[in-house]
Structure 1
């Protein structure tokens, strides 16, 4: 008889690529995972891993068994979702992977609403970059991930995950309100220092593309994932940058905001495994996130047009264009 727990380790190896990665995901040692798969090989009566030097690869039999293990896990998740639909109250633990600007704005309001309406539901939040969060949700480490998509910067769609749009988040050119770093257009930032997220992130790729379209390569002197640091550095007159409306709605700062000549902003969306989308807990969590996102966006509508006078971050303009 094949042990399902050991089969899951094999499936995780198929997804993650190394025994060390599986061990980290489950807080075990690589030697323990290796022992478990060796025991599974004895149960199956065939070799499941082929070792070349210090690396291991699945044999054809290993690929087959890992794929079947994934199918079994899918069926178990579907069965759990079907059973949960009969419950009178929403219960369980929903683990959500989020990135920073969402955690500052949308999550507090969403979790407060969920606590009031569904007190038996436990929500756990872990900060992850969107790409990592998508992978780990597909690998069953999270139940839901909130991610972002920038115009023209696409990422591969992971099979087995759905895609539900939360909304669109408009970006702004953010500068000091006065001084040498106060500019009103993207092109005027050619000779100025920039602050941006690290190389390789979707937002950094997108910012670089925007600047190149404006005719220059941005001088990125400061790199950090912390958007609050972006805002404070800009406020101090040390850099210029591009920040989304969602973070600007939650942070008071004495900065100038300028609209960018874009037809679309970044898309925020949630993704869950297709086998779990009917879980009542995911239904209510997604509804709470959508409500909180709409409320956050309504709070922070700066209403600044390109080349217009700056306004204070978070201040809604009475004459906002529609």
Structure 2
């Protein structure tokens, strides 16, 4: 079986099943589209059955192709498990690749790295700030080994086969208004300009629902993915927002924050592939992130942030 199906080609087939086009596979794996096409052609010859069929100007998997793609995923999982066992005998042999949402990169990554420097001094951690939606997809595609993401109240994220989750903690969400703003609650902000995350994100959907529940449609003038840009607009008096506590990264906010009704929180979690269970160092990174969040939220709670702060 190993002589028949090369693992590298199975990886390409797995990527095609996830991404749907040869161009997307080429970009993800840093190959040229012609190289991907040639390798998948060879895989089809090895299988001796048609794996692809034309569908307009694109290709899609045949029934045989879907069967082999499912096998490819199992083969890649088993390869990862074995590599994890080998890695335990060869410390520092492989990096742990982490995708974090922006607030986790700001507030948790420095503290987690400090913890890992003491606990796992020869561990190499590679990190990138990636939106949760993209990060969870790329985790399935094996671009990352773990992803720090969130879900808002009433907006749970879909579970993907082969991935496991661990809740790291909860992050309060509050109104953020300019320091001179006299508003005391959400209803007072019905006529203000808002800055929210782009459409399609869980944060945007949740925030809009809060405004509608308060009896108004928010005037969203700015749709920005960078939460530090939200802070800048609010601090400059140009907008109001709903922001999680982690965005402050332990610093004093340059804006006034107001606790929302029922004190909502978002759930911060880390997702890994089930096949990573043999990789002790992936677990070590998860533990460090959990400890960093616990320390951060404890510090905020100890600071006594209440209903409205000046």
| TM norm. shorter chain > 0.5 | yes
Q: Which has the higher helix share?
A: 2
State the secondary structure of the residue aligned to 2:269: strand
After TM superposition, the structure 1 stretch with the greater mean CA deviation from structure 2, 274-283 or 248-257, is: 248-257
CA distance in 2, matches of 1:182, 1:227: 23
Q: CA deviation at 1:112?
A: 2.1
Query: Which one of 123, 126, 139 corresponds to residue 124 of structure 1?
Result: 126
**2-structure distance, mates of 1:138, 1:30:** 21
Count of matched residue positions in the alignment of Structure 1 and Structure 2: 306
Aligned-pair distance for 1:235? 1.1
- Displacement, 1:219? 0.6
Of residues 205-214 and 77-86 in structure 1, the stretch that sits farther from structure 2 once superposed is: 77-86
The corresponding residue for 1:169 is 171
TM-score (norm 2): 0.93
Q: Are residues 1:294 and 2:297 paired?
A: no
State TM-score, norm by structure 1. 0.90
Query: For residues 303 and 249 of structure 1, what CA distance do their matches in structure 2 show?
Result: 16
Distance, in Å, in 2 between the alignment partners of 1:227 and 1:269 is 19
- Aligned match of 1:214: 214
Q: Where do 1:68-83 residues align within 5 Å? A: 68-83=71-86
**Aligned twin of 2:151:** 149
Distance in 2 separating the partners of 1:154 and 1:54: 35
Contact 1:211 1:217 in 2 (8 A): yes
Q: Which moved more, 1:89-98 or 1:146-155?
A: 89-98
CA distance in 1, matches of 2:35, 2:20: 16
3-state SS in 2 of match to 1:92: coil
1:165-244 aligned at under 5 Å gives the runs 165-178=167-180, 181-244=181-244
Q: Is 1:22 aligned with 2:25?
A: yes
Q: What SS class does the counterpart of residue 85 from structure 2 fall into?
A: helix
Give the whole-Å Cα distance in 2 for the aligned partners of 1:85 and 1:2.
Answer: 27
Whole-Å separation in 1 of the counterparts to 2:17 and 2:188: 49
1:274-285 superposed matches below 5 A: 274-285=274-285
- 2:49 aligned residue: 46
Q: What corresponds to 1:316 in structure 2?
A: none
Q: Please tell me the root mean square deviation across aligned C-alpha atoms, in Å.
A: 1.7
Q: Report if the CA contact (8 A) 1:145-1:270 is conserved.
A: yes
Shift of 1:207: 0.3
Instruction: Return closer, same or farther for 1:38/1:249 CA change in 2, 3 Å cut-off.
Output: closer
What does residue 315 of structure 1 align with? Answer: none
Partner residue in 2 for 1:111? 113
Query: Deviations 1:68-106 (Å, cap 9, x if unpaired)?
Result: 11111111122223344456x565200001111111110
Q: Report the Cα distance in structure 1 between the residues aligned to 2:5 and 2:288, rounded to whole angstroms.
A: 41
1:137 aligns with one of 120, 131, 139: 139
In 2, Cα distance between equivalents of 1:243 and 1:143: 28
Q: CA deviation at 1:256?
A: 1.0
Gaps of 5+ in 2: none
* Contact 1:172–1:259 (CA under 8 A) maintained in structure 2: yes
The reply to whether residue 3 of structure 1 matches residue 6 of structure 2 is yes
Query: In the TM superposition, what whole-angstrom CA distance separates every residue of 1:213-242 from its partner, at most 9, and x where no partner exists?
Result: 100011111111111111121111111111
Q: 2:7, 2:76 within 8 Å by CA — same for their partners in 1?
A: no
